[in-house]
Amino acid sequence: MNERFWLLKKIKIHPLFWAVAAIAAVTARFQDLILLFAIIFIHEMGHAVAAQYFSWRVKRIAILPFGGVAETEEHGNRPLKEELIVTLAGPLQHIWIAVFAHVLFRFDVLPGQMYTQIGEWNRAILFFNLLPIWPLDGGKLLNMAFSTVYPFLRAFRMTICCSFIALFLFHAAALLNAPANLNVWAIVVYLYAALWKEWKQLYFVFIRFLLERYYGKREPLRHLETIEVDAGAYLYEVLESFKRGRKHPLIVLKNGVEVGKLDENELLHAFFSEKQTNAKVSDILYNY
């Protein structure tokens, strides 16, 4: 119980939500505002409780007009299964919300108009959050799909690029259907800003992934994936080929012939502890 109260302390209301609240106050749509907040709150608590169950470090839970963002201190080194559960824990809340509202309506506890409003907001928030746009749930699912095939950095770069395209298409559709909707404009501006920020911090996110892989809590890496690297390759080039959830033994080649083997931890140690950021694989191989 104390852990649940601890999660409540992490909740922060984003300024955009207050802006939407002000619009609701001017237009006397308080009921819509309360329903919106309640659905978003339940959605985000689904993420937060699932993250806490797996002992993730929850940084904050931001409530936004279209959903929320449960920020954690995990940087791509948790098992994909855990991340999938944490990501889906939010959208799954919308199922019991719909069922619960329907039961209340059938027993005449919930007025028909409010039941309709709950259904509309519930579906809207669910489907919007499943759009393939980072940092929405759909964007996170897209990144997980890319991460199963591509290295961490490439997968995240592809996620941001695809998110920009999806957001542009959503923005174009919104302009055609609701050009004067201030809520939509607030959402779109926030997402463009969030994506631009992620793009600028792409390598910072990648370095955090590597740092946690080297210094952080050791999660069991069940899958080995050998990487063949040229002796003349730079360390950072090899590190960019690292995948999440994979342990990488390295086979070092020179002129196509194997000249030695390295463990990924040896590269990480040289890169972070010994500050050999411009070293080549051959430098590390002969040092060991």
Distance between CA atoms of residues 191 and 139, nearest Å: 11
Q: Where are the domains of the chain?
A: 2-212, 220-287
Question: CA 18 from chain center: how many Å?
Answer: 24
Residue 185, amino acid: W
Q: At 80, is the pLDDT very low, low, confident or very high (cuts 50, 70, 90)?
A: confident
pLDDT digits (tens, 9 = 90+) for 123-166: 999 999 999 999 899 999 999 999 999 999 999 999 999 999 99
pLDDT tens per residue, range 165-205: 999 999 999 888 877 777 788 888 889 999 999 999 999 99
pLDDT tens digits for range 224-255: 889 999 999 999 999 999 998 888 999 999 88
Q: Which CATH superfamily is domain 220-287 in?
A: CBS-domain (3.10.580.10)
For residues 273 and 168, the model is more confident at 168
Q: Mean pLDDT for the chain? A: 86
Q: Quick check: pTM over 0.85?
A: yes
Q: What is the pLDDT of residue 2?
A: 54
Please give the positions annotated as active site.
Answer: 44
Determine the Cα–Cα distance for residues 11 and 26; give it in Å rounded to an integer.
25
User: Residue 57 contacts by C-beta under 8 Å, 6 or more apart in sequence?
Assistant: 72, 73, 74
